[in-house]
Amino acid sequence: MRNPDIRGAGPVRPQDHPAAGGRGGDDTAGLRADVPGHGGCAVWHAESRLAGLFPAAGFEDPDRGPLPGGRRDTPGPRGADGGAVRSPGGAEPVAGPDFAQPVVAGGYRWWYLDALSDDGRHALTIIAFVGSVFSPYYAAARRRGPADPAAHCAINAVLYGPRGKRWALTERGAAALQRSREQLQIGPSAMRWDGSCLEVEIDEITVPLPGRLRGRVRLHPAALTSHRYAMDPGGRHHWWPAAPVARVEGSMQRPALAWRGHASFDSNGGSEPLESGFRDWDWSRAALGDGSCAILYDTRALDGSERQLALRFDGQGRATSFPLPEQGALPATPIWRIGRATRAECGTAQVRRTLEDTPFYARSLLATTLLGEPVTAVHESLSMLRFRQRWVQYLLPFRMPRRARP
């Protein structure tokens, strides 16, 4: 019997047809083993990396202070502690995520929220795409000529819990997209900035087993930063760590649960497809004991150039670089054999758990050491060389269905 909630949402199709699978429950019975608490975001794999620290040419100096963030006419935004959310150094309030930023034809922009609960039982990743970078439909449109990124938008929401995960990623057309500086609406889900926090409404259908993922997430930044970093020599791809230190509240209806934890929020954008610029990359974030966080970013471009970034963000949003830790290999993922690597003091890091194991992407929890502290980090490995393979493109619609109409 079909779940009535799913039927009421209309068909979801891999090219407009549903992914195969049975019905999904609305409780937490399907969620997997505990997610260790602590830690943060992710690292994305490349093979060996050259030494050298961002900023090189094309990079903003992290110690130089923020770019102008602009001022809002509304009362100043408030931080996680109730204080004003300000740009690093206590300057004027910044304007927020600015969901209206332009995206050129064939390009992309995404906004990324990553969270771990204080008790270590739940983790959450939410990514809003305009120009869905991993979409086979967007790739096909680009092969035909200039492609409108707004016609390929999506919200990817993944909830990890004690007994498993719920994964949702439905691509939608331009009619499902509405955006302004303060709001990004994609189908039934949305991100909204109210001047003090980011509120995310999630209402999605999971794949491959259809079920509901519905709830509200509120992210309270300790500070907002205007730092932006070029991620390739030509400056066609950039990263903005908008709120690297934040608190989060999750209140889910499907499945029914509520939790609090620590989080980060950032954004990436580019004027060309991701696979046109990169071979692979690593990105990681780990929460530190003093409330700051450490972020590592390693990229390897198709032209053979490499970039590395090692930053510590404090509770005021100030970024300071630190020496690149030693790089060490990690075991490949057990199913799809995605290579993983990370940086750690003394070169020691261990995979505590593999959260995602896909043909071109992996997310893992690591036990590692950074800045003299043992930490848990969420680690992501991305292989764009694998992503470009025809057989991978053939598989994508089953994890990434498309609904052309709202």
Residue 161 domain flag: yes
Amino acid symbol at 46: A
Residue 10 domain flag: no
> How much of the chain, in percent, has pLDDT values that exceed 90?
66
CATH of the domain at 264: 2.40.370.10
On whether the pTM is more than 0.85, the answer is: no
Could you tell me the pLDDT band of residue 347, with boundaries at 50, 70 and 90? confident
Question: How is the chain split among helix, strand and coil, in percent rounded to 5?
Answer: 10, 45, 45
Residue 356 domain flag: yes
Residue 332 domain flag: yes
Q: Enumerate residues 6+ apart whose C-beta is below 8 A from 145.
A: none
Task: At 8, give phi and psi (nearest 5°).
Answer: -65, -20
pLDDT at 220 over 70: yes
Residue 105 domain flag: yes
Compute the distance between CA of residue 216 and CA of residue 230 in angstroms, rounded to an integer.
32
Could you tell me the pLDDT band of residue 122, with boundaries at 50, 70 and 90? confident
CA dihedral 127, 116, 398, 5 (to 10 degrees): -90
**In the 8-state DSSP scheme, what is residue 96?**
-
C-alpha separations of 290 from 245, 286, 365, 371 in Å: 11, 12, 21, 11
Domain count across the chain: 1
Domain that holds residue 114: 30-403
Residue 14 domain flag: no
Query: At CA 385, angle to CA 384 and CA 386, rounded to 5?
Result: 90
Residue 22 domain flag: no
Top-ranked range on mean pLDDT: pick from 38-52, 71-85, 180-194: 180-194
Q: What is the pLDDT of residue 119?
A: 86
Question: 391: burial class by Cβ within 10 Å (0-12, 13-18, 19+)?
Answer: exposed
pLDDT at 91 over 90: no
Residue 25 domain flag: no
